[in-house]
Amino acid sequence: MNTKRASAVALALTLSFFAAGCRKKVGVPPPPAAPVAVAPVVKAPVKKPMVTFFTVEPSTIERGQAAVLKWEVTGAQSVSINQGLGTVTAAGNRSVFPSSSTSYTLTATNEGGTSTESVTVNVTAPAVVAPTVTPTPSDDFGSMVSKLIQDIYFDYDKSDVREDSRATLTKNADALKAIFSKFPNNTLTIEGHCDERGSAEYNLGLGDRRSTATKEFLAQLGVSADRLRTISYGKERPSCTESSEGCWSKNRRSHFVAQ
Amino acid sequence: MKKITLPLLVALASSAGFGQQGADIVGRIVGGQKAAIAIPDFRGAGKAANFVATFNQTLFRDIEDAGVFKMTPKSMYPLNIPQRPEDFRKPLQFDPTNRTRAPWLQDWSDPPVSSDYLAFGYTAEQDNQMVLFGWLFNVKQPEVSSAQVIGKIYQGSLDDAGARKVAHEFATDILKQFGVESLAGSKIYFVSNRSGSKEIWVMDYDGSNQKQFTFYKNLITMPNVSPDGTRLAFTSFAGGGPAIVIHSLETGRKIPFYNQRASMNATASFTPNGKQIIYSSTASGWAQLYMANADGSNLQRLTNTRSIEVEPKINPKTGNEILFVSGRGGAQQVYKMNIDGADVTRLTTGEGEASNPSWNPQGSHMAFAWTRGYSPGNWNLFIMDVATRDYVQLTQGAGRNENPSWAPDGRHIVISSNRGGSTQIWSMLADGTQLKQLTSAGVNEKPVWTK
């Protein structure tokens, strides 16, 4: 390597010497040495990954309902799904909540190439139309968020968005879209909270899941994800301090705070 | 998995960590056959007299807290208390009722004192310094010439701090004779809300000298100290979401640490050599375990699950096995894996919820909190032999008992408990006895006992 590099540098210097000589100019510093060529490494061809299956069920949903993507891929180094789902494991499933008909493309890659597979979820109009938001000119961002955006609640040690929370989040999404278009520079923080029973350390992770699941759900409904920030407070900031299920259920929440 | 009785656990503890002498001592603690010691009040000469009360209190407490001795009752002590070895005079005929003769060993070894050992001496002022002349005698010996175990001079400043210093040093020397590392000088870092927000505080092992250490005026929690006692890592909300912050304990200042881009970086702890840090991060989505250099560089991911994983703790002896808390099987449980992420084993049975694993200094046992047998949130303390998974329960439903951390002597633990109403820091012997409340102001939790 050293001798190769030295000879390449010598060659470059020699060339630059001749080049300078031709132009009859003195005092110009030599150009940088030519890059050292690296012989390409020849590897045995790798078969590109195989998508065993990539399905969605049901393929038609009402707005706000969930559809489940399922997939299995063999021989891939990386597997990803577009529409914000990002990198995923080689086999798995994921609930999605698209707000309008959406195609999902799974991309599996290895050194041998790329395989893709797509499915489409058809979204029909919701049975009940969410109330439209007509912000009055006097409202500021903070007061509109606190007036129109409702907390959602979770089951113990769970971070899945509950059936009743989906309706709330669908309303929140509509309101947020209206609020964000009125206030294009503001962002919203989604706080994840837990009740007092799990350990403080574990609850920090659980609160993070709750805020992230909430953000993902809103993003699926078309709320701009880059205006949603998440933070977990675990069980450090309870809204209610009694040791009873009535209180615990209020503390297991995603809370929305205007920035 | 079977439950084990405490003497067995302690026998295991001793075979794993203590020398022969130490094993005897641990055996004695549990069996109730402790060596008896007498510590009469020392007298102070000159200005040293002003601080001798502090000295006597500190010495007595250090020895008592160690838990290796039976403290003989002061009310039984003879009236004539020796201050120097020369004070002892062997009587021709020992008569315990003779009050006028000079002190003798049997005054202490015979009933009613029935002691094995006697600590005595005096404090004096010398060149404006406090000087302690301290002796430890084995009073079961027939002659003064063979009785002396310790005879040493200690020096400190002529004030209460100096009195505490010489008392701690004398107590340390006494305990060393019995293979016990003294806790004197050890510190407990903990989280307290008494300044208005949760911050890191520090106190002496006995609860004295409580001081605020961090001043972020924000949520600061989950402290851990490097094994050499020079650095403190904690989880801070001062920059927004939970992130890891490290401070030097020598200068008090913040040390740079690279937090990877994540909504949460938390629950950091140090490897035995202090060169690496393991922690939990949501960089990939779920809270997973990572290892990095002490400055946060050279990141390595250790776990890869779609579950919450926090509180990694590396075996302080081997530097290999990591204890951690994971929800990978459902409710949170304590697991063990190798430092490369291989050989994952669940240690707790799957019952209830488990958290807060803490290695003993010998790297053989873990103290942890578990709700086994109780409803969620009702934490009790347990100790488990990590190799056999045999365990013993230390608390039984008296409030919520969490966050155990071992003392450097491997025989005591410090915990947080709300047994008295509010959550406070308590210390205890690792068999659950000698429970002592160390804090009372505000809410205090997450203690870490360090050298």
Residue A169's domain is classified under what CATH number? 3.30.1330.60
Best probe of the B interface among A158, A193, A204, by most B CBs < 10 A, is A204
| B344 in the same domain as B313 | yes
Is A134 a domain residue?
no
Reported confidence tier of residue A92, pLDDT bands at 50, 70, 90: confident
Confidence at residue A133, expressed as pLDDT on a 0 to 100 scale: 55
CA dist., res. A77 & res. A8, Å (int): 36
> Do residues B409 and B185 make contact, with C-beta atoms less than 8 angstroms apart?
no
Nearest to B169 by CA among B283, B16, B62, B273: B62
Q: Does B278 touch chain A (CB under 8 A)?
A: no
| B210 in the same domain as B87 | no
**Which residues of chain B lie closer than 8 angstroms to A243, CB-CB?**
377
Confidence at residue A5, expressed as pLDDT on a 0 to 100 scale: 55
Q: Does B235 touch chain A (CB under 8 A)?
A: yes
Is A136 a domain residue?
no
Q: Is the pLDDT of residue B31 over 50?
A: no
| B308 in the same domain as B172 | no
Is A20 a domain residue?
yes
DSSP helix/strand/coil, A57: strand
Is A113 a domain residue?
yes
Give the angle B389-B394-B397 at the CA atoms, nearest 5°: 115
CA-based nearest residue in chain A for residue B283: A208
| B332 in the same domain as B266 | yes
| A219 in the same domain as A161 | yes
CA dist., res. B352 & res. B337, Å (int): 21
| B197 in the same domain as B133 | no
Q: Do A231 and B241 touch (CB under 8 A)?
A: yes
| A116 in the same domain as A8 | no
Q: Is the pLDDT of residue B295 over 70?
A: yes
Is A230 a domain residue?
yes
Q: Which two tokens stand for residue B106?
A: 């049997």
Q: Which two tokens stand for residue B178?
A: 């019995």
Identity of the residue in B222, B237, B353 whose CB atom sits nearest the CB atom of A198: B353
Q: Look at the block and give the residue holding tokens 């798995």.
A: A92
Identity of the residue in A89, A195, A204 whose CB atom sits nearest the CB atom of B310: A204
- Highest mean pLDDT: which range of B8-12, B322-326, B384-388: B322-326
| A162 in the same domain as A97 | no
Q: What's phi and psi for A109, nearest 5 deg?
A: -130, 140
Cα atoms in the Cβ-side hemisphere of radius 13 Å centred on B394? 30
Reported confidence tier of residue A20, pLDDT bands at 50, 70, 90: very low
Nearest to A108 by CA among A83, A85, A89: A89
Reported confidence tier of residue A126, pLDDT bands at 50, 70, 90: low
Beta bridge partners of A110: A113
Confidence at residue B200, expressed as pLDDT on a 0 to 100 scale: 98
What CATH number did the domain enclosing B84 receive? 3.40.50.10070
- Which domain covers residue B323, as residue numbers? 187-450
| B391 in the same domain as B287 | yes
| B117 in the same domain as B96 | yes
CA dist., res. A21 & res. A30, Å (int): 11
Q: Does B238 touch chain A (CB under 8 A)?
A: no
Q: What DSSP character marks residue A32?
A: P
Q: Does A182 touch chain B (CB under 8 A)?
A: no
| B153 in the same domain as B207 | no
Least confident stretch, A134-138, B112-116, B287-291: A134-138
| A182 in the same domain as A221 | yes
| B220 in the same domain as B153 | no
Q: Is the pLDDT of residue B194 over 50?
A: yes
> Do residues B229 and B235 make contact, with C-beta atoms less than 8 angstroms apart?
no
> Do residues B425 and B447 make contact, with C-beta atoms less than 8 angstroms apart?
yes
| A245 in the same domain as A210 | yes
- Report pLDDT digits (tens) over B395-414: 998 999 999 999 998 989 99
Is B294 a domain residue?
yes
- Report pLDDT digits (tens) over B176-189: 998 888 888 899 99
The shortest C-alpha distance from B355 to chain A (Å) reads 6
Q: What DSSP character marks residue B3?
A: B
Instruction: Classify burial at B15, counting beta carbons within 10 Å of its beta carbon; exposed 0-12, middle 13-18, buried 19 or more.
Output: exposed
Is B6 a domain residue?
no
Q: What's phi and psi for B17, nearest 5 deg?
A: -120, -35
Q: Which two tokens stand for residue B447?
A: 């203690």
CA dist., res. B79 & res. B84, Å (int): 15
Is A204 a domain residue?
yes
| A235 in the same domain as A165 | yes
Reported confidence tier of residue B16, pLDDT bands at 50, 70, 90: very low
> Do residues A16 and A33 make contact, with C-beta atoms less than 8 angstroms apart?
no
CA dist., res. B451 & res. B438, Å (int): 17
Q: Which of A93, A124, A155 is the C-terminal boundary of a domain?
A: A124
> For the residues B40-67, what does the mean pLDDT come to?
93
- Report pLDDT digits (tens) over B221-276: 999 999 999 999 999 999 999 999 999 999 999 999 999 999 999 999 999 999 99
DSSP helix/strand/coil, B197: coil
What percentage of chain B has pLDDT greater than the value 90?
82
> Do residues B173 and B63 make contact, with C-beta atoms less than 8 angstroms apart?
no
Is B338 a domain residue?
yes
Reported confidence tier of residue A63, pLDDT bands at 50, 70, 90: confident
- Report pLDDT digits (tens) over A216-238: 999 999 999 999 999 999 999 99
> Do residues B66 and B34 make contact, with C-beta atoms less than 8 angstroms apart?
no
- Report pLDDT digits (tens) over B56-78: 999 999 998 888 899 999 999 99
C-alpha to C-alpha distances, B169 to B115, B165, B182, nearest whole angstrom: 22, 6, 9
Q: Which of A65, A99, A124 is the C-terminal boundary of a domain?
A: A124
> For the residues A244-248, what does the mean pLDDT come to?
95
What CATH number did the domain enclosing B258 receive? 2.120.10.30
Q: Is the pLDDT of residue B25 over 90?
A: no
| B405 in the same domain as B281 | yes
| B82 in the same domain as B123 | yes
More confident residue, B431 or B276: B276
CA dist., res. B27 & res. B18, Å (int): 11
What CATH number did the domain enclosing A57 receive? 2.60.40.10
CA dist., res. B176 & res. B190, Å (int): 28
Instruction: Return all residues near B50 (Cβ < 8 A) that are at least 6 apart.
Output: B44
| A105 in the same domain as A36 | no
Residues recorded for chain A: 259
ipTM: 0.80
| B56 in the same domain as B201 | no
Reported confidence tier of residue A15, pLDDT bands at 50, 70, 90: very low
- Which domain covers residue A201, as residue numbers? 141-258
Is B12 a domain residue?
no
**H or E stretch at B22:** helix B20-31
Q: Do A204 and B309 touch (CB under 8 A)?
A: no
Nearest to B194 by CA among B223, B222, B215, B225: B215
| A243 in the same domain as A201 | yes
Q: Which of B131, B155, B176 is the C-terminal boundary of a domain?
A: B176
**Domain count of the fold of chain A:** 3
Q: Which of B176, B208, B227 is the C-terminal boundary of a domain?
A: B176
**Domain count of the fold of chain B:** 2
Reported confidence tier of residue B425, pLDDT bands at 50, 70, 90: very high
Q: Which of B144, B176, B208 is the C-terminal boundary of a domain?
A: B176
Q: Does B332 touch chain A (CB under 8 A)?
A: yes
Is B3 a domain residue?
no
